[in-house]
Amino acid sequence: MNTRIFNEFKKRFGAGAQLYASPGRVNLIGEHTDYNLGFVLPAAIDKNIYVAIKPNGATNSRLYSYDYEMEVSVDMNGEKPEQQWACYIYGVVQEMKKRGAKIDAFDCVFGGDVPLGAGLSSSAALESAVGYALNDLYGLGFSRQELAKIGQMTEHNYIGVRCGIMDQFASLFGQKGRVIRLDCRSLEYELFPFEPQGCRVVLIDSMVKHSLASSEYNVRRSQAEAGVAVVAKHVPGIESLRDVTMEMLDTYKNEMDALSYRRCAYVIHENQRLLEGCEALKKGDYEFFGEKMFGSHEGLSREYEVSCAELDFIADIARHTDGVLGARMMGGGFGGCVINLVKESVCDAYLDDVKSRFNHQYGQTPRTISVVIGDGARRVEIE
């Protein structure tokens, strides 16, 4: 794919482009914890968005989407472009300019192999690739953390998505064979080994689109905040669920509604699962880590109630299959993928079993995507 993007640039705009890549991501444990200022455990994967780019000395930047087969000319000092895909690039430029960067017009071709609609954050990969490329090309001096913030603010201000920073962070800070424990309150992070010998990480797509995710996301957020507000009346210094223990929650349980209690309990348990899972990774105990993945799914399904029948169906097959170490829904919920940690020896048979049973139950065959934990944003040398 990287050669195709590079050659497409040459065909359209001539020689001399630099090529950059930034990956999609998975999240192993830690869902709906980010906006509660807890922990997440993402990793970059071996699926990337590639950007070939070169200053053009003109007034307008020429942008070509390889996947949409569409070219637009954009004045980066003018109005936002109509095409949403072009808004990602425009937005990154604007956010960099707000921070004092001087960026001349450029030509750019981008495309990649991050599967769309699977919750692997192709948009964050694009923002990170463009940000990293412009930073390198024009010597802007932004740190990777600043580039992650630029990507996040692009989503907020030019796409209209109030996302957290996890996706951009994973795309920029990822390392092969490592997962990133990110503290969403301080943005401090630590890398943990993730090289389960004889195992594969596989996503199984439920084929359900997240139609409820955005509206229910806001409901969950307000339910969690309501629980925090109750505890904060009694305990000084409580600002988010990160500060609340199960003991505190149980003490003031009678002052909050049952749903708020359940939502808060899930987040507290999920942070604990994640921290215990990281300790297991240090010891190379993937069986224990897998149990924490199963526990995460159980919590998301029963306490936070953001799963759906199809996701639960896949997770239940995983739970009852020897050689599947762990599985859980990944992402906002109400659709999307189940991420699985599976022994190589049983993987193909397990996937065949899920496809067959899912098809029998729901009348369609789920898509499967194997991923390998890979490196974050980088410059790519073409032979």
According to the model, what pLDDT value does residue 39 have? Answer: 96
Q: Which residues are catalytic?
A: 167
Q: Evaluate whether 180 touches 169 at the Cβ level (below 8 Å).
A: yes
Residues 6+ apart with CB under 8 A from 310: 206, 207, 208, 335, 358, 362
Q: Are 57 and 72 in contact (CB under 8 A)?
A: no
Closest CA to 338 of 364, 303, 362, 309: 309
Other beta carbons less than 10 A from residue 187's beta carbon = 12
For tokens 């596989």, what's the residue? 202
CA atoms within 13 A on the CB side of 65: 14
Distance CA 220, CA 119 (A): 19
Rg of the chain in Å (alpha carbons): 22
* Distance (Å, whole) CA 286 – CA 280: 7
Cβ proximity of 327 and 314 under 8 Å: yes
pLDDT along the chain (383 residues), means of 10: 93 97 97 92 97 96 97 96 96 98 97 85 95 98 97 93 88 97 94 96 91 76 94 96 96 96 97 98 97 98 95 98 97 92 98 98 96 97 83
Count of CA atoms in the C-beta half-sphere (13 A) of 174:
33
DSSP state of 375: -
**Which pLDDT score, from 0 to 100, does residue 211 have?**
67
Domains and CATH numbers, the chain: 2-194+374-380 (3.30.230.10), 200-371 (3.30.70.890)
Q: In this predicted structure, what is the pLDDT of residue 6?
A: 96
* 82 and 150 Cβ atoms separated by less than 8 Å: no
Question: What's the rounded Cα separation, in Å, for the pair 151 and 146?
Answer: 9
Residues pairing with 179 in the sheet? 192
This prediction's pTM:
0.93
How far is residue 287's CA from residue 342's CA, in Å, rounded to a whole number? 10
**Residues in a beta bridge with 108:** 53, 63
Strand partners, 368: 204
Q: Residue 182: which of 44, 30, 378, 340 has the closest Cα?
A: 30
Locus of tokens 């990969």: 125
Question: What six digits make up the tokens of 12?
Answer: 């359209």
